[in-house]
Structure formats: C-alpha cells, structure tokens
Chain A
Amino acid sequence: MKDTMSRLLIALAVAGSLASVSQANEPAPTSLQVFPPDVQLTSSRSQQLLVVQAGYADGLTRDVTAKAKLTLANPALAKIDKGIVTPLADGATELVVEFGGQKVSVPVKVKDAKLDRPISFKLDVMPIFMRANCNSGGCHGAARGKDGFRLSLFGFDADGDHYRLTREQPGRRINLALPSESLLIEKATGKVPHTGGARIKEGDPYYNDLIRWMEAKAPNDPATIPTPVALDIYPRKAVLDGKGETQQMTVRATYSDGSVRDVTSLALFLSNNDNSAKISENGLVTANERGEAFVMARFATFTVGAQVIVLPKGLKFTWPNVEEKNYIDTLVHNKLKNLRILPSEVCDDETFLRRVTLDIVGLLPTQEEYTRFMSSKEPNKREKLVDELLGRKEFAELWVLKWAELLQIRSSQQVSYKAMLLYYDWLQDRIARNVPVNEWVQELLGASGGTFKNPATNFYQAETDILKVSENVAQVFMGMRTQCAQCHNHPFDRWTMDDYYGFAAFFSQIGRKGTDDPREVIVFNSKSGEVTHPVTRQQMKPKFLGGAVPDLKGEDRRVVLARWLASPDNPYFATNLANRVWQHFFGVGIIDEVDDVRISNPASNPELLAELGKRFTAYKYDFKKLVRDICTSRTYQLSTRTNPSNEGDTRNYARAYLRRIKAETFLDCITQVTETKNKFPGLPNGARAVQIADGSISTYFLTTFGRPMRETVCSCEVRLEPTLSQSLHLLNGDTTTSRIASGNLIGRRLAENKTPAQIIEELYIRCVSRRPTAVEMERLLKLVDTEKDKKQALEDVFWSLLNSREFMFNH
C-alpha cells in the first residue's frame, strides 16, 4: 500500500515536470498514471491488464490506455497486447508509458514464465461461480438452492460447494469422463434448459477453466491454498468529461502467500449510480448524466470501490473565493470543487435563528429571542446564539430522545415501565451531565446487576438473544448492519461469518435471573457459554468486529468489548457517532443511512467524516463541541435556495436541505406556539413530547408523524417523509384547531387591545420566525377587516400558518 502511494506520488511528480510538452490542439495532460503500480507475472497463465489514466489541469481524467505508448525495456521478458501484459521469460524489467509528453515507468517482474500453475478449485473455479452469478441469492446461492442445486451464497462455504458438485449426487453434476457433457457445463452454457440461461460460452476462459478442473479429476484444494487477503481497484478516482466518456477499471487481488493476481476478469462489477456511470461486466465505466458514482468490484469476500465523477461536457467552472469558517467548510468545499458545484449563499438571520433553535433545542425561537437576536449588532451573534442554545437543558433532552430510540427504551408485557423510566433517567443523567459518550457507553455495555438498581443493565433486558444483541451493538455503536453475516458472508461488505460469530461471542456469557421484584432482572457474567460457528462447528473466540482477538484474562467479555468499542482503537465508533450528529443537523448523513456503514455504501465525503471522527475523539467524545463546530460552519448556514450548479445536489451539502420536523419536536412546536399543555401517560401535565421516556407511549399525532416504536435499533424507524394523513390531520384533526381554541392566544391578545396587524406579526414570528411581508400583511389585513368576528378571522390566520409548509419544515 505504502509502495503504491509513493509510486503514485513519484509518478505525479514526474508528470508535473514534463507538463510543458504538449500536443497542438488536444489539451496536454498534467499528470499520467499507470495502474497497477507494478506488474507481477507468476506463471505461464498470468496476465495483467494495464490502465493508463491522464489527468488534466481542469481536474478531468481520461483513459488513454489505447493511445499511450507502452514500451518494455526488455521486450524478451513479456508481451503487451491491448494493455494486457503476458509473460515470455523470467526476469525483471521496466515498462515505460508515454502519453502527451508525460512519461511514467512501471516495474515488471516475471517468474515461472514457462510453468503452469495447477488448476485450483478455490482459486479458479469458485470465482467463476460468483462472476457468472451462479451463487447469487436469486440463483443457486439461495438458502435452499435453485432447481435442486445449491451453492453457498457468494461462495462462503467452498468446501461445501465442492461436496455438492462432486459427491452430493455422484455422477450427476460433473462427468469426469466427458467433462464437456457434465450437467454443470451443459446447464451453464445453456445447452440444456437452464432457468438462468447461458452464463458462460463454450471456449471462453471460464469454460476452459471448468473443463480443466474436471479433466484434473475435480480436485479440492489442500488446506494450505493461499486465500485472498486484499483487493485493489484502479484507478481509485476518475473525473469524466461528459456522456459517453469511458474508463476501464483493473482489479488486483493479493493472496496470503504474498502473491498478486489480476482478477479483472473474475471480479463482479457494480455501480451505485447507473444514472451517472454504468460499469460493464468487464469493468468498463461509461459516463452518463452529471453526478457521482461509486463503482465497485467484488471478489472473494472483498468489495472495493472507486469514485467516478461525471461532468457535463466542456463545463466551464471557476471556484470563487468562498469564506471558510472552519475545517468543515474546507473539506466540504474541496469536494464541491471536485464536483464543480458552487455552494449556495449564507441564509439570513431569521432563517438561521429558526433553524439552529429547532436543531439544537427542538423548539421554536420565542418572540423575545427573535427580537433580541434580530436587533443584535454583534458580528459574532450567530456563534453566541449557538453557545447559548448548547447550554440549555432542552439540548440534552433532544439527545436523550435520540439515544432512547437507539437503545429501545420501551416497556412491554415483559419489560416494566418502571425499569424503562429508570433506564431513561440513567441515560438522561449521563447526557445532562455531559458525561463523555465513550464513558457511558462503556458503562452501558459492561453493566451488571439488577435492572432497577443499575438501570444500564436494561440494555440486556430489552433484547436477550445473543445474536441480536451483538447485531444491535454493531448497528448502534458502529453503524454496521451485520445481520447478513449470520447465515453467509456479507454480500456487500467485508464481514464474514467468522467475524459475525466472533463478535457475538462477546455476548454469549450474559446471565439473567429474577430477583425479589417480579419486574426486575439481574444481569450478570455467567462465565460460561460459547458461540458455535454454524458451518465449521467451531467454538468462536471473541473477536472485535474488524479488530483483534483480545486477551480476556478472566474478565467479563462485555467489559473487554466495551473498553475497545468505545475507544479510538475502534475505527468506527467516533466516525459513526459524528455521522449521527451530522445527520441530525443536515438531514443526510455523510454515510446515509447512518447505521448502514459498508464498503458498498461509501461516505459522500470520506475526508470530512474522518476529520469529524478525529475531532470528536480529540474532544474526548464531548459532542457539544462537535455540534458547535457544525453549527458555526458556513456549510450549516447555507440557504436552501439553489443555484444552477447545486440544484441536483443531495449529498454534498452545497445547499441547505429542507427537512420535515421530527414528530416529537413538531408537536412541541405546536404546543409552544399555541401556548397549550400536553398530557402524556406517566408524565406530568405540560411535559414535552421529547420527554416521553417510554417508546410504547404514543399519541395519534406522534404516530402519524413517524414517532418510532423502538421495536428495533434501526435509525430508519424515525420516519420523516410527509404523508397525506399528516396533512389531513393538521387540516382538520384536533391538534391545530382545538389547540388554537384552548390556548386562546388570539383572545388574550385582543383583550390586551392589540391591533390585528400586531397580532398577525406576532403569529408570524411565533410560527415561522419572520415578519410577514408587506404583501402578506396587506392581504391578511384585508381579510380580517372584512370579517365581523375578528377573533375567528385571526384564528384562521393562525390555523393557516400552522398548516403552512414553512411551519412544518426546517429550512
């Protein structure tokens, strides 16, 4: 890896020095890169697909493999044809690549050029099943197989597949005497009816390898066969100039014996955004509409990806001097520069006040707060407002609510309300006292004792299944959805069944027992109990997800896990939490969904995410500081108004996104502006909806607006999409009309001899944090004037405001 990077840098440097030499009309590249950074051929069948990428001053890249001049210093060692290097004789030499005045050289090593590697089931046959989609979930990889034949999904059980091919039904699937008449071959080539159609062609390399394997008597591999340990896709990034532009990808695997292998022809390619960049089954990317795509290659248990940016053809773009308030802006702007997108302008004070108040404390600014902020002449009044809001207790309550959702604080037939209230109080105490997240997460995960006496143990009361507990921990604290790996290796991520059961082993020794109170459960370290791998039947040693196998030293496994999980040693903890915080303020996570971290769902701005995670760790997991960074950045303060370059942007924070206000906060806002009181079961009169401790308590309003039931740890339980029933409920449900009546704000203001204009202005400030425009005021006054019943007319104005989209959204 390090080598690769340094070579790239050298290549860039070399390219830079030669930049002056250029062709007449075609723009001269400013850099030239050759992928992979070296060529290693290790047998007579070895080959390597080369990709040459030129970079230009405007940031564009071009695939110039066909145009570049490729010369071997010693042509006797290898042959180059259409970018593919094949061996001739053993030795080492250099490949010189020249294009547009740039020149790069790549080392070439040839070994065993005359020696053929024996055919291997795991190295040669298994990859074909994946490449040809034989073992995908819809085909033979299904749990019960397909049409009577089963392969392990994405090849997680190669030995099992060998058994099924050779021995499950002897003589049926393969024919060692006449390999080409094997059912395997006849089905795959479509010679006999095959639901999946023809997957390979007679004579193609896949066909040949399958035949070769059978000719060799269909051997399985010895246990010492090297296994893939890494996968690389090249180039890592491409910026394509308009529709139709192409870029070839090359994929190389590294094996446990240190050898490398070109697996471009064996990898499975996919793109997460076909609309911008499609990738063919051979790895050729074709540009489509403007946008960004992440193209991926899957081989063995690995998935790797590269970023492809597609720009409109011949786009003229200059980056203006945009102010950068902190590191967030710098990193967001870097990405926008790449994408040729201009950020929107900064929003006005009124919008900022409403937005930041809603986001930090979950309430609307009061009239008094509005006046104070709007009349302030201080240059740093926005920063001051952020600090002020962060000091309020509603800030903590909002985050208690968020965590309560993730920790499934919810009473049920089995779980008492008392236990949940104590759990909620415990959580609230930690957050209100600003206990660093890592500390209370460690306390939570390692908790022992009674669910009443040590409420943190309730985490293990809500869910008792070992596997589910481990899935929940991975999802809540690392943002990983590991569920797939329970039955097979994760199809879109790196998690294998070994990882899954190794992680679950941390939770296999949780003892639970009753005590004096029938509602209370004692959670303790039972010191016994193991997790068995369902395929290999091995007892799994506890292993951190994506980390080491720790020395447990007789300690409670959960304590050991908690110590690692909530620490900088765990690369996912800080970034995941930072991403959750970010998502709260922007509506879209840098990785989105925030609890769906996987290689095939990459961060829209990895540098930003990494930096946020780093800062969060440096802040000792004090997320108030992180919130301050976010809210004082220019990026957070952007207007929702778009410009031509960013109107399509949904992931890169080039503008502010409209966000429907969350159910609990929305109800609190309505309660606040109408000056009414809520009554929720188990809470005193006048409590706010965000204070509801128990997930099983809801109201019609909250359910309609997507309050989560806390049945799972998934962040997707909070629903924010607007629905018809929401609109109808606001229009004619009891929340708006009856609250306006019972709050009697208008009546009171009229009694104070306020004029309709004054009242309308107050209503506007209350609901949408701005004064009415002159046009609005004029029209509304006209309406009010024609009505006899002023109170009724003004209440109608109030009702209209509560039903306006401006009120319903944070903008």
Chain B
Amino acid sequence: MRFSTTSRFLLLLAALSVLPGDLARAASPSLGSITPRGAQRGTTVTLLFSGARLDDAREILFYSPGFAVQKLEVVNVNQIRATVAIAADCALGEHAMRVRTASGISELRTFWVGALPEVAEKEPNSELATAQKIPLNVTVTGVVDNEDVDYYAVECKKGQRLSVEIEGMRLGNTLFDPYIAIVDSKRFELATSDDHPLLGQDGLCSIVIPADGLYYVVVRESAYQGNGACAYRLHVGTFPRPQAVIPAGGKAGEEIEVTFLGDPIGPIKQKIKIPATPGVKYGIHAQDAGGISPSAIPFRISEVGNVVEVEPNDTPANATASPGPVAFQGVIDKPGDVDHFRFQAKKGETYDIHCYARRSGSPLDPVMTLSVLGGGAIAANDDAIGPDSYFRITFPEDREYLLSITDHLGKGGPTYFYRVEFQPVRPTATLSIPKVSLFSQERQTITIPKGNRMATLFSVGRANFGGEVAIVPEKLPAGVTLHAENCAANLDVVPVVFEAPVTAPEAGVLTPVGLRHADPKHPPIAAAFSQQVELVTGGPGQSVYWAPSVSNLAIAVAEESPFAIDIVEPKAPLVQNGSMQLKIVARRKPGFTAPITVFPLFNPPGVSSASAVTIPANGNEVLLPMNAAPNAQARKWKTAVLGVSDAGKGPIWVSSQLATLEVATPFVVVANLSRSAVEQGKETEMVCTLQQLTPFEGTAKVQLVGLPVHATTAVADITKDTKEVIFKITTTKDTPAGIHRNLFCQITLMRHGEPVVANSGYSELRVDVPIVKTTPPPPPPAAGTPPPAPAAAPPKRLSRLEQLRKEQEEREKAGNPAPPPATPKK
C-alpha cells in the first residue's frame, strides 16, 4: 500500500498533468496487510485482508497449494474476511497471495504457515521476573515495541532439545531485525542469535537442555529500535534446527539420504525424494521425533548427481576424486581448511561453475579456484554472486583438473557447507515486467476490462543466446487474446497487448510465462518469469531487506470499463530528427465524462515522447508529441498507449490497440546552414544548402527556427530539386545583441495527407551593437603584448572574424558583400 501510493504519486508528478485527486490514492483494489501474519497448518483460520476498495472481492489468488477458502465476507469497503482451511500437508513457511475483485488484482502480500499451535504474547513480559510462561512446541505471536524486550519462560527437561526460530524481518511488515537468546534462570546466555545466513536478519538457536528447570527465550530488536509494527512469530519447541545439509542438492527425481548438520543433538540423517523438475526453487525441512524445523534449507535440483568430499582432502595430493564435472559437496569444517576435488574434463567443454554457499544459507564466503591438476590456476573467483563464487570455463584440454574451495577470511566450522555445480551452458532467459518506479508493485499484474484491452511491457533477459523471441504465457483467462510482435534482437523489452471480448467471464489466473524463439530450429529456451516484491526496504540508501519473488504472472478479466482508447494509426512516418503528434481518441460510455490520462507504453529506440497527456473531461482526443533522435532506428515498430481514469471507484487502466509506428530516414536534410552576423537594425543572409535523400511530391516548407525577437525571415518553399535556400534576415535596433545559438531549419512536407516534420542544420546568428565612430580608440597597442589586452581585445577580434566571414561568403559566390563596414580601426 505504501509503495503503490508513493509510486503513483511520483508517476503523477512525472506526468506533469493534473489528475483528479481520487486517482492519487491507490490501485483498485489495494491490499495493505493480511492478519494474522501466519497460522498452523491443518487448521481453519479467519484472515483479515485490509486495504482499499476490497468490497467487490471475488477470490483469493494463492501462489502455492494448500489453501481452501471456505467463506469470503466483506467487512467494509476496505476490509474483507476470509475463512481459510490450511491443508495438513501445506508447505511450511512463506506463502504469497493476492485478492482479486471485480475490478482487478491487489498487491501481493505474504502469509506464514507453521507446524505448531499458536500462543499470543501477553504483556507485561519485559523482564525476566515477569516472563510469560509458555508450553513447549508453540509458535508465539508478539510485537517488539521500542526498547521492548520480551521474555518467555519454558519448562524443560535435561537432555531435551530446545530450539527457537523467529520470523521477524521475513514477515515483511517493516524493517525489524530481531535478536533472540536462550538464557537460564541465572541469566546466563546459553545461545544467542542475531542474524543467520539461512534466515537473513532473523535468527535461530538450538541447545540441549543441561538440567531440568525453567529456561527463558528472549526476543528484542537487535538495536532496541522496535515499534508497534515489529510483529514476530517465534517458534519454541523440541524440533530439530540444523543449520546445514549435505548434500545440498541432488539429481532430479532421485531418492537420496541427506545429513543435516549443526543440530545440537548431532547430525540427522533423512531420506528425501527429489522433485522431478530441475532448476525449480526447493527447500527441505529436517524432521525427527522432536518435530519439524520451521524453515527449510535451500536444496538444489540438478541434472547430475553428487560427489561428497572425503576428508582429508585439504591438499591437492589427497583431493577427493570425481568421475567428471558433476556436483561437489562438502564442508569447510575448520578455520583455514581448503577442500580439493579432482576430476576429468574434456577439451572444449564449457561450464558455468557455481559455488552455492550463501545462496544455500551457509555462513561460508567461498573462494573457488580451478587449476590444472599438478599445474597452475586457470580460473578463480571470490564474490561473483553476492559472497558466492562463479566463473565460466572452457576446458583447454582433455585431462584432470583440480577445484579448491576455501573461505575468504579463512574461517570455517561444522556448518560451513557448500555445493559446487557444473552447469552446461544452455539458452536461458528471465522475464519480468519493468517496475513503474523503484520497489513498486504498481502495474505488475494485468487486469483486462471486458470488451477492452490492457498492455504491459515485458523485459527479456537473454542468457547464452540472441535473436528475436516471442512471449508465451502458459495460460490466459478464457477468451483473452494476446497481441505482440517478437521482441527485437537488439532490444530487451517488448510491448504486449491483452484483449478480452465483452463476453469473457470475469476470472483470474496465475501463470508461468515462457519464451519462443523466432527461429523454429532454435533449441528450447528455459525461460522463467520472476516478480520480486520488495516488502522491506531501508537504509543505507534504499537497500532491500526482504523481497520474496514469485514465478507466476497474475492476469484477470475484470468488469467493463466505461471508456476505451485507440491510437489513430499514423499514415506518415516519424522521421529521424523529426517530430510527430500521435493522435489518441477515446470511446466513452454514455455518462462517463472524466478526463483520461494517457501514458505511452513503449518508445522505440531513439524515440521520445511526452510522459503523459490528458484527454480532457468530455473530450474525445488528444495529441501525444513524439520526437525521434537523429540516430533513431529506422523501421516499423508496434506500440501502444495506456489510459487511466477514475469512474468513482479508483483508477481503471486500459490500453489502445497495438498500432504501427514507422521511424524513417528524412526526405531532405540541410547539409549546411551558414553562420551569420549582423548589426542591430541591419539585414543579413543565411545560406542553407540542402541534401535531397528521398524524392518527395509537391512542395515542402523550410522554416528557420530560433531567431531572436525582432529578427524576422520568410518561410521558404522547396521541391525535390531545390539545392539551396537563402534566408534574408531583417533585424531592428531592438534585436538583442549577442550570439543566438540553436538556430535550425524545420522542414515540413506532406505524406498521405499528414505532415512529416524534420529538423535539420544548426547555426548561430551574432547580433552586434553598432560601433559609434566618435570615440577614437586609445593609442593602438604595440605589436604582440597579449596579456594586458583584455580591454582592447573585443574590437580587434571582431574585425578579424568579420573578415573571415567575408572570405567565406566570397568562396560561396554569394557576391553580395552587404554586412559590416564598420570597425576598421587598426
């Protein structure tokens, strides 16, 4: 809610147009929060969705399975209540959702699912003496106020495992960096945690209870800077809470045994079945008789199997041997440890070698070095991807190679795990919708009014391939069609228009989006749509603290819009260094009179336009000024414009059709526009030499633009054969003296009944104050004393320049030496 308001506001400022106040509020609909922030799986909970304009809610769109809405009630215009059954096998952790209403789709918000029953915090619990007693194996929901410290007392038995994990920053509410600790009744800290690489700013602790008794779990903001928005979910129980897993990935579809490390009880072995699709985001939870760990450890799904290190492998001589480039697994288990792997590779094979450490939640800051076995290093990297290492290598010959991994600061420990993957180089792409403004959720979803259109830009990040590609959403709401050209090979954005017939049912989908190469013989591209939602940002600068990302695009068909807009497709081209007025017309339903603001969606390379124009209230058309740079790429493009207006229920967005806009080379250009000088009240000439590029019919007008006030000249008419135009410039004594730069020619010709306007040439006109002859200059300066000359310099330079001009004029055979007879006083 906060982001969208801000971004909208900025957008409007940028648009430089006045919109009705209503529009400046929020998207329609808008979702600010979901409360409570989480629940136990296997239960049915009532969730309150708060925001704005939610009263026509139709459904909740869940990005992950495990939720069934049993009842959806409207509380008021800004709140709805949903009774949701959470499946017993619902994945633990973060889940993303949106509200779809009759008019559109809300922002994405998150919800957390846990395995334990919930207990609410009861103040006062800010001192050890007033600690809140809780049973084991619960999730406490609480808030850390400013300088607040929350204490929870829990009765434990000797030998029992006591694990604590907090969801604070991850709840995505606000910049809340929690600190947790387990202390005994004598206030000795048995474990503390501020940040953990697995959990970002959130923490985890786990100990084996040394003696029967009361133990305390402490929660506070790490710098005592809490506030009412600093809500947390604190899991306290006997569940396993390991901090590492070996291997941290495996071959898709296989069943393997993994070992969880870092749990106080010791390594936990667990059999897992790896999903069948490589590359998807996946995580595994440790589970034993004590319960299940609340957060997963990331787990990579690969196409190849694992080689787990065999200690000792701390020198090249005892390197763990691998049959080939697969996935290497290990732990930098003590400070200064270096792990080595040797493997055979073939000449010419190219791999992306990734070390997954911090990306998998390991504290390791890996440094990875590849060398020829028994020889020198051929590649090394420290921090290519965050703290993780990556490089691409083409093996120079058939032989054995050595890969070594260590910590950048020479640290190490039992949970410093890593996974090195050799990934064959294949075409991949990431798709996204460019943000309207930084960290905004604005227009990141598609809402198409029935019988209308909506458009968006897609950003295409190509890796390991090039060429034209088409955007292919996996599914669309019933009846919806997509209009788009291929994304040009030299561009990474493409405009796409979605259209819904008036008969289409109101519905919403969350869909993956793929890519198809224009060349049917091109190998398939592994494309993934990604939408990152920056829920928590803060200093320094605008840093992102928590930003879940989803891989599905939300598209919905909404109720009809009271207006539609169309581009009147131009028949004449927009020429390089030229301009055009793009006409946009509105179709209004009877009774809808509000102004409609029009935003260009896509400007082809080298083309710029006004950032917004407005169709006035009751008006039906507007012109969007467009300009092309001299280097604008000449070709036919497809583009669209967006229109937004308010029909009394928040903004409604629609788009025009996908129209053709041609950028072309100009028909005629100015080869040279002479510079000129004139005394106030006198006349002068400017000679304009033309270069004809493409023959045109009829006459064109050439206008000299940029003359100072009180200086005039006539518009010249030219044909396709004109070579030169002479502008006679008349000045008066009021023409301002000085050099007037930015004079240019504007050439306007008609094409298919529409004007083609191009600018060309550049020159300047100097206007001088007439020299008064009655003041003889002081004794002329002797030969060559440049330093003391500033006072005498202007007249001297003046005559020289004019002489030069004269010579030039003579050269151009403009036998009319009219200009300046004054000043000779050498």
Residues of chain A at the chain B interface (Cβ within 8 Å): 413-418, 421, 448-449, 452, 513, 515-519, 522, 524, 682-685
Contact = CB atoms under 8 A, between A and B. Distances in A.
B224 A684 contact: yes
A417 B226 CA distance: 13
Contacts of B197: 516
Interface SS of chain B: loop
B147 A518 contact: no
Contact of B386 (A415, A516, A684, A685): A516
B387 A516 contact: yes
B223 A421 contact: yes
A682 B540 contact: no
Contacts of B195: 452, 516-517
B194 interface: yes
B568 to A, nearest CB: 49
23 contacts: A413-B540, A418-B177, A418-B222, A452-B194, A452-B195, A513-B383, A515-B386, A515-B387, A516-B195, A516-B200, A517-B200, A517-B201, A518-B539, A518-B540, A518-B541, A518-B543, A518-B544, A519-B540, A519-B543, A522-B365, A524-B409, A682-B223, A684-B224
B41 interface: no
A516 B358 contact: yes
Contacts of A416: 223, 539-540
Q: Which of A516, A682, A683 counts the most B-chain CB atoms under 10 A from its CB?
A: A516
A517 B169 CA distance: 12
B390 to A, nearest CB: 16
B545 interface: yes
A414 B540 CA distance: 5
Contacts of A684: 147, 224
A452 B810 CA distance: 77
Nearest to A518: B543
A513 B222 CA distance: 22
A522 to B, nearest CB: 7
Nearest to A421: B223
B269 interface: no
A519 B358 CA distance: 17
A75 to B, nearest CB: 65
Contacts of B147: 682-685
B297 to A, nearest CB: 16
B225 interface: yes
Given A414-B540, A524-B408, A684-B147, 16 more contacts: A413-B540, A415-B540, A418-B177, A418-B222, A418-B223, A421-B222, A449-B409, A515-B386, A518-B539, A518-B543, A518-B544, A519-B540, A519-B543, A682-B224, A683-B147, A684-B224
Contacts of A524: 408-409
A522 B538 CA distance: 19
Contacts of A517: 195, 200-201
| Leading 4 A-B pairs by shortest Cβ distance | A518-B543, A418-B223, A421-B223, A684-B147
A519 B224 CA distance: 16
A518 B169 CA distance: 13
Contacts of A682: 147, 223-225
Interface string B160-187: 0000000000000000010000000000
Contacts of B409: 448-449, 522, 524
Interface in B563-579: none
Contacts of B177: 418
Contacts of A414: 540
A415 B539 CA distance: 9
Nearest to A413: B540
Interface in B356-370: 358, 365
A413 B223 contact: no
B380 to A, nearest CB: 14
Contacts of B365: 515, 522
A516 B357 CA distance: 12
B145 to A, nearest CB: 11
A455 to B, nearest CB: 11
A524 B408 CA distance: 9
Contact of B225 (A417, A516, A518): A417
A515 B383 CA distance: 10
Residue of B194, B195, B538, B544 with highest tally of chain A CB at under 10 A: B195
Interface in B216-246: 222-225
A449 B411 CA distance: 10
A518 B408 contact: no
Contacts of A421: 222-224
B192 to A, nearest CB: 12
A290 B222 CA distance: 60
A526 to B, nearest CB: 10
Interface string B193-207: 011010011000000
Nearest to A523: B409
Nearest to A417: B223
A421 B387 CA distance: 25
A519 B147 CA distance: 20
Nearest to B196: A516
Q: Which of B224, B358, B408 has the most CB of A within 10 A?
A: B224
A252 B727 CA distance: 86
Contacts of B383: 513
A641 to B, nearest CB: 47
A790 to B, nearest CB: 38
Contacts of B540: 413-416, 518-519
A683 B148 CA distance: 10
B236 to A, nearest CB: 24
Nearest to B194: A452
A483 B365 CA distance: 37
Interface in B511-562: 538-541, 543-545
Interface in B376-396: 383, 386-387
A172 B223 CA distance: 67
In this complex, the member of B194, B200, B223, B409 whose beta carbon has the largest number of chain A beta carbons within 10 angstroms is: B223
A457 to B, nearest CB: 11
B539 A413 contact: yes
Contact of B545 (A417, A418, A518): A518
B243 to A, nearest CB: 15
B193 to A, nearest CB: 12
A335 B52 CA distance: 81
Contacts of A448: 409
A102 B10 CA distance: 94
Contacts of B539: 413, 416, 518-519
B535 to A, nearest CB: 15
Nearest to B224: A682
Output the residue of B201, B387, B539 with the most chain A CB within 10 A. Answer: B539
A534 to B, nearest CB: 31
A685 B126 CA distance: 13
Output the residue of B197, B200, B225 with the most chain A CB within 10 A: B225
Interface in B116-157: 147
A685 B358 CA distance: 39
Nearest to A679: B147
Nearest to A412: B540
A464 to B, nearest CB: 14
Interface in B396-429: 408-409
Contacts of B545: 518
Nearest to A418: B223
Contacts of A417: 223, 225
Nearest to B195: A517
Nearest to B179: A418
A413 B539 CA distance: 7
A597 to B, nearest CB: 35
A433 B200 CA distance: 32
A337 B194 CA distance: 60
Contacts of B387: 515-516
Nearest to B540: A414
A448 B410 CA distance: 11
A100 to B, nearest CB: 70
Contacts of B223: 416-418, 421, 682
Contacts of A415: 540
B72 to A, nearest CB: 39
A219 B790 CA distance: 42
